[in-house]
Chains A and B, each alone.
Chain A
C-alpha cells in the first residue's frame, strides 16, 4: 500500500486529502 508514496505527485495529493479529512474532523469535534 505504501507503494503509492513512490510518486511525489501522489504523496502531495494524499497530503491535500489528509488536510481535508483533518479539517472535517476538527469541525466535527467542535
Chain B
C-alpha cells in the first residue's frame, strides 16, 4: 500500500511538473510563434516594456518544475526496479529509457545553457550589451530545442506502458 501511494504520488508530480515546465514552452510557442529579436534599446533601459515583460516571466517555476519532473520520473523507475534497464535501453524498457535520456538532455539544456544566458539577458549577471543581446538569441534557441525534444519525449512517456508491443 505504501509503495503504491509513493508511486501514485510520484506519477502525479511527474505529470504536474511536465505540464508546468513544458506548458511554459508551449505557451511561448503560441504567444510568440516567430522569433522577435531583442533590440539594444530594449536591454539598455531596464524599464523598457520588453525587458519588463521578460522580467515578469522570470519566476523560476518552470525551471524547478523540470527538476520535479525528472526526479519523480527517476523515482518511479527506481521504485519499479526499471532504472538500470531503462538507462541501458533494455528490450521493453527502451522507449521509456530513450524518453528519459532525452529528458535529461532537456534538463541539462535548461539549467546549463538557457539559464546562465538568461541571467545575462536579464542583467542578474553583469555583461556588456552586445553579450546580453547574443545571449538572448541563445536562450531563444535553447528553449525551442526543448520544445522540439518535448514532442518525442511525450510520445515515449505515453508509449512507456505499451512500448514493448510497439518496439519489441
User: Is the CB–CB distance between B167 and A30 below 8 Å?
Assistant: yes
Query: Which residues of B have CB within 8 Å of A29?
Result: 89, 94
Q: Binding site of B, secondary structure by majority: helix, strand, loop or mixed?
A: helix
Number of A-B pairs whose CB atoms are under 8 Å? 66
Contacts of B166 in A (CB 8 A): 23, 26-27
Q: Which of A7, A9, A18, A26 contacts B94 (CB 8 A)?
A: A26
Q: Which residues of A contact B148 (CB under 8 A)?
A: 5, 11-12, 14-15, 18
CB contact under 8 A between A15 and B98, given known A8-B34, A30-B168? no
CB-based contact A12/B151 at 8 Å: yes
Q: Which of B136-154 contact A (CB under 8 A)?
A: 141, 144-145, 147-152
Chain B: minimal CB distance from A4 (Å): 9
How many of B's residues come within 8 Å of A, CB to CB? 27
Contacts A26-B94, A29-B89, A29-B94; A5 near B145 (Cβ below 8 A): yes
Q: Is the CB of A19 within 8 A of B151?
A: yes
Closest to B33 in A: A8
C-alpha spacing A2/B98, complex, angstroms: 23
**Which range contains the number of A residues in contact with the other chain?**
20 to 34
What is the CA–CA distance of A23 and B151 in the complex, to the nearest angstrom? 12
Find out whether the CB atom of A11 lies under 8 angstroms from the CB atom of B29. yes
Q: Is the CB of A6 within 8 A of B147?
A: no
**B residues 78-135 in Cβ contact with A at 8 Å:** 89, 91, 94-95, 98, 102
A11 to B148, CA, bound (A): 5
Q: How far is the CB of A1 from chain B (nearest CB, A)?
A: 11
In the complex, how many angstroms separate the beta carbon of A6 from the nearest chain B beta carbon? 4
Which residues in A have their C-beta under 8 angstroms from that of B144? 5-6, 8, 11
Q: How far apart are B98's CB and chain A's nearest CB, in angstroms? A: 6
